Structure 1
Amino acid sequence: MNGWIRVASAAALALGLAACRLQPFVVTALVVSLIGIPLWLVAVTAGKSQGEALTPDLSLPTEWQLLENLKTVWGDGEVPAAFLGSLVVVVPTVFGVLVFGSMAAWVLARRATRLTAVLYALGISGIVLPPAAVTVVLLLRQLGLAGSAGGMIGVYLGIHLSTVIFFVTGFVRTIPVSLEEAAQLDGAGPVTVFRRVVLPMLRPVPATATILICLYVWNDVFHAFFVVGGRLDTLPLNLFRVASAGLHLDNRHLIFAYVISMSLPLVAVLAVAQRRIISGITSGAVK
């Protein structure tokens, strides 16, 4: 009996060691399968001619035409106007969410009362409670903001304030209160304390929230389609219109080239700010 137990223990130990050694390879294979293959398919299809792109596969194009396809999309797809429309929505949204969300999180983190606890719960409830599109559109129509950039910005502010409040509140609680008290003794008011003491120490968290919000707003089609319709052209809405047009149904190489041109700004931002994303998540949400 003891011999069987020893054999089973040795086998379990060997399996555990093998699993530990194989784990990096398994994770790498999963990442390549789930992320690398779709990215490769987009890249090679965008570089093919119209005939080769009719049946998308992972094979390399006979002759790379990526630059030509990007130039065609940039001109015929009206990318500059759509890019400007996306900036008109994204920049004010990110600025407003960071300012109002950080200020609200600072107050909620420093005042430990039942009321602030309830307000905090309501503030972060937007993370798990999706907005009702029909109700939002009806409300914007009543306010006269339907189909406008201001209405779209207001919708995104309401959606993403919860994310900023969640991240920033946890980080503010780690900042010593004595720093704020010292500034108040020097005669600084609440706005000055927040701007000169609290805000500089929150840099990793707003940077993380900025990236996450930009990713969502830049690629959002659902809310933009219902709120602004075709009155304001953004990159995702323009891509939807171009891909749905009868002229471009068979031009898959141009559609994939449009996807690449739309994604390049976000890829550049992520490549530069990836360290801030990790530090912001671990500093704010975990704590």
Structure 2
Amino acid sequence: MTAPVFGGPARARAARPPLSRGLAARLRPVAVVVLVLLVMGVPLWLVVVTAGKSQAEALSPDLSLPSSWHLWENLAQVWEQGEVPKAFVGSVLVVAPSVALVLALGSMASWILARRASRLVAVLYALAISGIVLPPAVVTIVLLLRQLGLAGSLVGMVGVYVGIYLSTVIFFVTGFVRTVPLSLEEAARMDGAGPLRVFFSVILPLLRPVLATATILICLYVWNDVFYAFFVVGGRLDTLPLNLFQVANAGLYLSNWHLIFAYIILMSLPLLVVFAVAQRRIISGITGGAVK
């Protein structure tokens, strides 16, 4: 007669996952998808259906479908009466140099901060990223721009955005540079490359994934900003959000929610293009690094 094995059935039950745990594991992805659809899909649906309604149906925005779609008519009316082309040019003139300067200065500063190990560099890094948590002093910025003669100018607006979002780029890129092997730079220096050649030929191509992510964030912040544009530019240069704010206050879009949401759709289309292009860059950079 064989001796009983103590704990055998208990061990078998412990090895097999309970039914409730397996059900929870299956339902977790479904719950995440439903949550994402509620958080992102409902506002998007509200914007689209309201932009497709007539003025009478859009007086009280809701999730119901319009009785008849007027989306293209509303978009055409906004394009003609809302001065969208002029505001689009103004937004591009602000966003393009702001993003380019932030990425260029931030990536070069991050390379230096990541490769130098000293107390002074640690203090400089802490000061560089402090802008993420410390809010900018708007009154001080406006007064300083007036003293410099840059208030209400494109140069002043670009300088404000560069100063505000430079901390974000330094925070992202510095951690990424620290993961790049130092041997790549040493090999380039042995071949006679100087600091600029090392940065632009070795470091910068490896930063494409993180720079693509930073591009999406900075473009999103600058493109949708109306607060700093209102106080710094003061209406002398129209951007899309600032133009929407002004025409809505002027009474053109008063109670015309269908036109307001149609304007939002037109204002969001360039951001969708930037996101699609940058997303491809992120995926290609990650897969390229994996192959190497």
TM-score normalised over the length of structure 1: 0.90
Deviates more, 1:268-277 or 1:254-263: 268-277
Superposition RMSD in Å: 2.3
Q: Is 1:252 aligned with 2:257?
A: yes
Q: Post-superposition shift, 1:92?
A: 0.3
C-alpha deviations, 1:160-192, integer Å up to 9, x for none? 111111111111112222221222222221111
Report the alpha carbon displacement of residue 223 of structure 1 after superposing the two structures with TM: 0.9
Give the CA deviation at 1:14.
Answer: 4.2
Corresponding residue for residue 55 of structure 2: 50
Query: 2 CA distance for matches of 1:106 and 1:15?
Result: 50
Cα distance change on mapping 1:279 and 1:18 into 2, 3 Å: farther
Query: Structure 1 residue aligned with 2:35, among 20, 26, 30?
Result: 30
Distance in 1 separating the partners of 2:284 and 2:192 = 33
- What does residue 74 of structure 2 align with? 69
Structure 2, unaligned runs of 5 or more = 1-13, 287-292
Q: Check whether the contact 2:208–2:282 (CA below 8 A) recurs between aligned residues.
A: no
Contact 1:47 1:65 in 2 (8 A): yes
When normalised by structure 2's length, the TM-score is: 0.88
Counterpart-to-counterpart distance in 1, 2:194 and 2:31: 55
Between the aligned partners of 1:121 and 1:87, the Cα distance in structure 2 is 32
Greater Cα shift, 234-243 or 265-274: 265-274
Aligned to 2:290: none
1:238, 1:157 → 2: CA distance? 22
Aligned to 1:285: none
Q: Is the 8 A contact 1:219 1:236 kept in 2?
A: yes
Aligned partner (choices 148, 165, 170) of residue 170 of structure 2 = 165
CA contact (8 A) 2:55 2:257 kept: yes
Q: CA deviation at 1:225?
A: 0.9
1:276 shift after superposition: 4.5
Q: AA paired with 1:135?
A: T
Change in 2 beyond 3 A, CA 1:274/1:60 = same
Work out the percentage of aligned pairs sharing the same amino acid: 73
Equivalent of 1:204 in 197, 202, 209: 209
Q: Is the 8 A contact 1:45 1:53 kept in 2?
A: yes
Q: Which residue of 2 aligns with 1:284?
A: none
CA drift of 1:24 comes to 2.1
Relative to structure 2, which stretch is displaced further, 110-119 or 268-277? 268-277
Is the Cα contact below 8 Å between 1:208 and 1:276 reproduced in 2?
no
- Cα drift, residue 13 of structure 1: 4.0
List structure 1 runs of 4+ shifted beyond 4 angstroms.
275-281
Q: Which residue of 1 aligns with 2:231?
A: 226
* Residue pair 1:205, 1:280 contacting (<8 A) in 2 also: no
Unaligned stretches of 5+ in structure 1? 1-8, 282-287
Partners in 2 of 1:32 and 1:240 — Cα distance? Answer: 29
Confirm or deny that 1:18 pairs with 2:23: yes
1:248 is paired with a residue whose SS is coil
* Structure-2 separation of matches of 1:86 and 1:238: 10
Number of equivalenced pairs:
276
- Deviation readout 1:115-136 (Å, 9 max, x if unpaired): 1111111111111111111111
CA distance in 1 between counterparts of 2:32 and 2:202 reads 42
Shift of 1:219: 0.3
